[in-house]
Structure 1
Amino acid sequence: MDLTQLPALVAYLAERHRVPGAQLVVRRGEELRTTEFGVETVGSRRAVVADSAFPLGSLTKPFTATLAMLLVADGDIDLDDTLPGLTLPGVTLRRVLAHTGGLVSSVTVDNVESGSRTRWLAVDRTANALANPPGTAFSYSNLGYLLIGHLIEEHTGMPWWEAVTDILLRPDGIRPAFVVGPADQRTDRNPITGHAVRASGGSPLPIADQPLPLVEEPAGALALSAADLVAFASAHLPGAHSPIGERTARWMREDQTEGLRVGPFGMADGWSLGWSIYSRGGHTWYGHDGTGGGTSCHLRFHPDSATAIGFTANANTGLAMWEELVEELRKAGLDVGSHSYSTLPDPGAPVPAPPECLGRYVNGDTEFVLDTAADGELRLCVGGAPYARLTCYDGLLFTMREIDGGGMVHTGRFVPGEDSETVVALQISGRLARRHG
């Protein structure tokens, strides 16, 4: 692939998806190409530059995972000990890093929440913490990474943001920004603004604040550039001179979901101790994705070829831009490992919705109800409000188009019971919701 063509490609795709600003960094061996496009905020003249810090959303999680694994490597933590905070049998660091701990997806924020994970966990939350038996299925969990952040704070004596800065990022030359946190962690580097792009048209709308409760910092508070993402991935590559070390980096890439009946469908082919795993053309790639309030950030790396790709965008349409960018890179010879969140591979023709899928599904405090709309289409309601229309395919697979929010499309599936005759769960974006009637 001719990397000199990247600026034109990024500009074309950003304009096509109405993304105000984006960054792309590609490393192949010793070759490094960086591209910036557009502005940090619609209506401003602040151009996106190499140092612009984009809110990472869930792409914060591999940083928290790596920090935890450094403590494991030093002998401070055992991967298979039960996590403190929620003393639930089987909820170990190993499983929580790989989203197989059975924990619910979302964090319940109440009037106890002050940003202190210790204070938040002082309230007994065990009753509603599990969505599945630990170690039996993949189910993506933000709560798990709150617990890992608490574990890090207990063992380092530092707040999470300070530990991730001083122990992990600063030694590799990365100067972070944060979307939430106390005043003493702020620097002269500020997160840029996200944007909401409406399907109906009009200018993208700036989103002033990121919708992240302070207690969830370890799951989504970092803001970095695409260059920072590639620098972080490079520290995980063989031969890197980094505090992470080759042994820990290799350990972190071991798949923890092999043999599970329910894996990370729609997100990846497997999941390791912090990284998603992608199989592509006989090669294995690693990475993670993150969406914030009007931002979309993505990281991929291939250890065998010392290849790393970092992408950031400041619009909710950045995910669609990323998926098209991946396809263009593949056409040009860079066969990136990734999964589409919006399309199913070779789904065939739509089929009628299986009647056994209708009903109520629950993951923690989140309730999904599948019913039939007045026009006969299958409808998904979340929290009592209509959320998406579903199109079903063979194999209990479906795509769903959001009713609001720009009409974005996501993939999902119904999970059959062991008898294959009944539907026992619903899986969307890696979250597993069990049937409750």
Structure 2
Amino acid sequence: MRTTAATTSWRWAHADASGWNAKRTGLSPWDATATSCASLRPRNLAAAALVAALALVAGWNAYSYPSGAGYDVRQHREYADLLIHHGEIPGPGSRSEYYTPPLFYALAGAATVVGEHVHAGDPHKLGQVLNWIVLLAAAIVLWLLVRELFPERPWLQLSALAFFCSLPVVLRVGAMFHPEPLSMLLSAVALLLATRMLGRADHRWQLAVATGVVLGLGQLVRAFSLWTFAAVVLAFAVARAWRPLVLVVAATAVITAPWYIRQSIRYGDPVFDRPTKHEAIWDRRPARFYVGLGLPEVFSAPIRPHFVNEAVPTTYSEIWGDYFGVWRGSRERQAFLGLLPTLLAVAGWLFLLARSWRIPARLPAVLLPGLGLLGYLYFTVSYPTPDGDVLKASYMLTTAPTWALAFGYAVDRLPGRWRIAAAAVLAASALASLPFLLY
């Protein structure tokens, strides 16, 4: 047990009152009630309320959203069925997710097998229930992460959790039969483990191996988890924690090597074997892709085919609305409601980045948004498509918890009255978004 100032002072006060050798008497019912109430801090109750609200909204969406709807759902379901029933991974002969690692499909396939017995009419619903559980777990891990980084900042903690629980892209993708939520959860767990190791200078080999295993499992869900791996490696390098870094990398390699070797042998590319243009990467996209803002359609008609292949408005509309038409609700209202939270999240990340270079414990979470943006940009530039369908915000879902942290940091840094006013406006915006968040 750790001895803190609070526990030490309590012990001395207790000794003063009764002596060290005094026999301890039981607490009265009133004392027990007071102790229990005191232990339930308001911030914990507020956090529990936010997670409960997420459970209700995400649970409703898992129930009401069709299991056959969503991004590439046919390919995802076929992969899970083929893997769980025949022990095979799809090949490139037909349009499939053959380049996607199998961990999610193994779990979702197992859930589908359960669904065949308990919900035979639509067994893939259990895959959506799996993602509902994953979302709740991710919210809890985020709460632990922000408390680990900023233990005495309740505004930051609750703002970050509220942002995550009301982020449309999280709730939308979390309602689907889709691997990205599991990738996000494993990324958040890896960040939490790395943060605790660096923040507490706890470099035990067991923790390093556990961090590497989780990072490896994330890469066995989606290749986009590579950004998290890079953030953790850079943070350990900055901290000069070389021994745990070697263990983290080695454990990750052991977990991921069979998959990467298989893909390299079969397709010549360990990560993403898809054809692309044979030209320099900087020539693959026109200037409009980088600088186009999609005005005014980004607010008046934020849905395809408007501003096709313009990165900023498409990604923004994907985060806060429904650019590809897989959801329902007022996309126009969402475009306006997302503006203030986006500005706060970006500003919070920039300030946090500037103040965290000498605090290694913060670096895994602080580096991930930037690395995620760079990876997303590289991917979307490398593989251009006529309809712009590579510009899906779900490809950055692994960064959602860290953007929530950045948002919370921005809210926490506001002056007192501005902070309260911003919180009121943001709470009203979240309530206004509720009809869209519920499918």
**TM-score, structure 2 as length reference:** 0.26
Higher helix share: 2
Higher strand share: 1
**TM-score, structure 1 as length reference:** 0.26
